[in-house]
Structure 1
Amino acid sequence: MQLSIIVPTYNEAPNVTELVRRIAAAMTGVDAEIVFVDDSTDATADVVHEVAASAPLPVRLIHRDVATGGLGGAVVEGMRAAQNDLCLVMDGDLQHPPEDIPILLRRFAAGDVDLVAASRYLHDGSAQGLADRTRVLVSRASTMITKAMFPIRLRDVSDPMTGFFLLDRRAVDYAGLKPRGFKILLEILARKSLRVAEVPFRFADRFAGESKASFRQGVNFLVQLTGLRFGKMSLFAIIGGLGAIANLAIMWALIELGMHYIPAAIIGAEVTIIGNFILQERFVFQDMKGEASGIWSRFAKSVGFNNGEALVRIPVIALLVNTWHLSSIIAAAITLVLAFIVRFMFHSLVVYAPRKAGAKTSTAREVAEQLDSQAVSPGEL
């Protein structure tokens, strides 16, 4: 059996030597290589080179100057560079015991699955290596939320966020992956239906160094989860929501300073229109920019449409204030909510439309297919 072991690392220099030693000891009878994909700022790369010189199995290093996609991006890059189709992914801190690798291999050898995941929550598994009870509760809650959002794809998976798994890379749709952060297994399972089996494992304490868990990683996970489940529409909604809050805050501040609510609404709208465009370019439609028109054309279309929408929306605010006697802030909030769907449709179908049209289809069918693809990809019905 030929195996490539993918180890993404970030400042794990104290763990490399022991990790390679234990992997090598566990790989008796297996033709294996270790591929470190390193984003470190410490001496991890130097230690890998030093260990590789005397290791009993091939050890390769891919050092990335730009950590595109975070840990998930490192895993994808490692799988692409692997010499073997059978790839095992594990962390570099020894919380994933190398001695369990043969267990995953034996389960995969049964030939009835595409992927074998090591689970902390199956039978004799354990999450004892989590730093404290709070992290255990966060992990459990995150798992429950994730399974609730993907009840079909994850029905046979008790630990969709484990970083310890074995798969045939030929089953992975690389083109469909959008790695972000560190939950690469969730990304793989959510984007393509695979045959999955699990084996229990005991999540160990770190051998050395400090945990990389942080509030920022938690935010990245939530963004990844909503993006996977609801596609671009969810990210568009998040940015739109932030823009709406900023819009209302600017409007409120200007009114408090004595400005009439109409010019205050105009200024708030202009600031957030530009801000929303910048964020949408970076986080929502980044994968569509290559085939769309140039950035200034996209900017003109987006700002022009949103200003046209604002010209309609602001008189509606005035109507709600003067006729229904609503607060100007509440009236603005109502119109922002109603404008959301129209904005998303325009940006998906016009601003980021490919420069060259594809096969000829009816306009209604093309609109329906594009909306379905952009709004819910790759979620489930």
Structure 2
Amino acid sequence: MQLSIIVPTYNEAPNVAELVRRVADAVRGIETEIIFVDDSVDATPAAIADVAASAPLPVRMIHRDTPTGGLGGAVVEGMKIADSDVCLVMDGDLQHPPEDIPALFGRFGVGDADVVVASRYMVSGSARGLADRTRVWVSKLSTLLTRAMFPIRLRGVTDPMTGFFVVDRTRIDLEGLHPRGFKILLEMLARKSVRVVEVPFHFADRFAGESKASVRQGVNFLVQLTGLRFGKMSLFALIGALGAVVNLVIMWALIQLGMNYIPAAIIGAEVTIVGNFLLQERFVFQDMRSDAAGVWSRFAKSFAFNNIEALVRIPVIALLVNTWHISSVIAAGLTLIVAFVVRFMFHSLVVYAPRKAGARSRVREVVEEIDAQAATPGEL
């Protein structure tokens, strides 16, 4: 197999037949397979199966009942089972024209690049398929932000967030990728130094169906970008900073309502402890949850530690206010900053620590023993 085409799909049933037809026409003379990695909840799997039965080239499908890593995770799964080391990634909505595949594959064949990127923003390229002016500006500003944060790795790359590219999978660390949502190319380019060249392409109008772009995807992009640039601790800090602001706002509001600053600080702390845990579960330690203790155990450890830390901070706040006459809100902010490093270390090393192989709690052992005894046959 010369080329494996990876197509991640989510509810793209109306586009499947046309996509396969145009790809088959475009890759005549190139031994090619298409791998759909599908997260759909509509008729897309059935449409793929129907097309595969009569397609002039091999068509395979992975359907994921529990999607992990969004579109980027789908791309990685497809690459892992591909028959060729040369993988071309494209969307399933035909905004990446299949007719451009030979140009990408041919440029890769020159042999001086590990990744060939189809760019909307280089000379002769076009982003006309973006739905409206707002999306055009969002795309351009996101690209500028991304290139500014990775000035060395993305030097000369005009479109690091395109979903249309060819890559030699032996030149990237598939196991080391941590995909979130759409921007798998950014993940690849940011994590490892590779040789990149670009070819222009015209981003087309969607053939059928609806765009999957959303505010949620925008948030995932910002989280991904922050994590790639600054690492897990930066995400923890970002959530901690958000929690600190919420904490201070709650405290200030309660003080304005006439509450004493100490109970106000306690209430603010309790609310943000719960909120921070939920955000950390989703965005910071999501890759460690499967190996760690259960969610209620994690919550109990996090909640207990943060309350102990809060109990330590409250007297310190009182000391700063009563002895040094610092504003109570400023005093609370200072103690939150000091507590950050200790909090991160505790969560990384204790809350989300991998479970010991075979380790079971004493309570679980007792419950299992009772169950075993209850199920043992008796005599009449």
TM-score (normalizing by structure 2)? 0.87
> How far does residue 20 in structure 1 lie from its aligned partner after superposition?
0.8
Letter in 2 for 1:219: V
CA distance in 2, matches of 1:297, 1:220: 27
Aligned to 2:376: none
Letter in 1 for 2:149: M
In structure 2, the CA distance between the partners of 1:56 and 1:281, relative to structure 1 (3 Å rule), is same
In structure 2, the CA distance between the partners of 1:105 and 1:271, relative to structure 1 (3 Å rule), is same
CA distance in 2, matches of 1:30, 1:137: 37
Aligned to 1:328: 328
Letter in 1 for 2:193: S
| Bigger Cα displacement from structure 2, 295-304 vs 172-181 | 295-304
| DSSP 3-state at the match of 1:83 | coil
Aligned to 1:220: 220
| DSSP 3-state at the match of 2:129 | coil
| DSSP 3-state at the match of 1:339 | helix
1:287-332 per-position Cα deviation (integer Å, ceiling 9, x unaligned): 3345556767655654444334323322232233234444322321
Match runs of 1:124-135 below 5 Å: 124-135=124-135
CA distance in 2, matches of 1:66, 1:164: 24
**2:96/2:164 contact within 8 Å kept:** yes
> How far does residue 33 in structure 1 lie from its aligned partner after superposition?
0.8
In structure 2, the CA distance between the partners of 1:286 and 1:217, relative to structure 1 (3 Å rule), is closer
CA distance in 2, matches of 1:299, 1:141: 38
Aligned to 1:12: 12
CA distance in 1, matches of 2:297, 2:216: 33
Aligned to 1:231: 231
Letter in 2 for 1:192: K
In structure 2, the CA distance between the partners of 1:290 and 1:42, relative to structure 1 (3 Å rule), is closer
Matched, 1:109 2:132: no
**2:223/2:283 contact within 8 Å kept:** no
> How far does residue 236 in structure 1 lie from its aligned partner after superposition?
0.2
| DSSP 3-state at the match of 1:53 | helix
**2:35/2:78 contact within 8 Å kept:** yes
Aligned to 2:194: 194
**2:226/2:235 contact within 8 Å kept:** yes
Aligned to 1:284: 284
Aligned to 1:58: 58
CA distance in 1, matches of 2:169, 2:100: 20
1:120-148 per-position Cα deviation (integer Å, ceiling 9, x unaligned): 11121111111122211111110010001
> How far does residue 234 in structure 1 lie from its aligned partner after superposition?
1.6
Matched, 1:27 2:31: no
CA distance in 2, matches of 1:291, 1:73: 19
Match runs of 1:125-204 below 5 Å: 125-204=125-204
Aligned to 2:377: none
Aligned to 1:240: 240
| DSSP 3-state at the match of 1:335 | helix
1:262-291 per-position Cα deviation (integer Å, ceiling 9, x unaligned): 122123323433442343233212333455
CA distance in 2, matches of 1:277, 1:240: 10
**Gaps (5+ residues) in structure 2?**
357-380
Aligned to 2:338: 338
Letter in 2 for 1:283: F
In structure 2, the CA distance between the partners of 1:58 and 1:133, relative to structure 1 (3 Å rule), is same
CA distance in 1, matches of 2:247, 2:104: 52
CA distance in 2, matches of 1:247, 1:70: 32
Matched, 1:347 2:347: yes
CA distance in 2, matches of 1:354, 1:73: 23
1:86-107 per-position Cα deviation (integer Å, ceiling 9, x unaligned): 1100011111111111111111
Match runs of 1:60-99 below 5 Å: 60-99=60-99
Match runs of 1:40-55 below 5 Å: 40-55=40-55
| DSSP 3-state at the match of 2:57 | coil
1:157-216 per-position Cα deviation (integer Å, ceiling 9, x unaligned): 110000000111122212211111101100111111111111111111111222211111
**Gaps (5+ residues) in structure 1?**
357-381
| DSSP 3-state at the match of 2:54 | coil
CA distance in 1, matches of 2:179, 2:238: 19
Aligned to 2:364: none
| DSSP 3-state at the match of 1:37 | strand
| Bigger Cα displacement from structure 2, 345-354 vs 327-336 | 345-354
| Bigger Cα displacement from structure 2, 196-205 vs 312-321 | 312-321
CA distance in 2, matches of 1:310, 1:12: 50
CA distance in 1, matches of 2:48, 2:303: 50
**2:116/2:197 contact within 8 Å kept:** yes
CA distance in 1, matches of 2:352, 2:193: 28
In structure 2, the CA distance between the partners of 1:296 and 1:25, relative to structure 1 (3 Å rule), is closer
In structure 2, the CA distance between the partners of 1:324 and 1:231, relative to structure 1 (3 Å rule), is same
Q: State the Cα RMSD in Å.
A: 2.2
> How far does residue 343 in structure 1 lie from its aligned partner after superposition?
2.1
> How far does residue 76 in structure 1 lie from its aligned partner after superposition?
0.9
Letter in 2 for 1:190: A
> How far does residue 12 in structure 1 lie from its aligned partner after superposition?
1.3
CA distance in 2, matches of 1:342, 1:256: 31
The sequence identity of aligned pairs, in percent, is 77
CA distance in 1, matches of 2:280, 2:19: 41
Aligned to 1:265: 265
| Bigger Cα displacement from structure 2, 344-353 vs 84-93 | 344-353
Letter in 2 for 1:343: R
CA distance in 1, matches of 2:162, 2:255: 50
CA distance in 2, matches of 1:59, 1:25: 14
CA distance in 1, matches of 2:176, 2:167: 17
CA distance in 1, matches of 2:271, 2:351: 19
Matched, 1:251 2:251: yes
Q: How many residues align?
A: 356
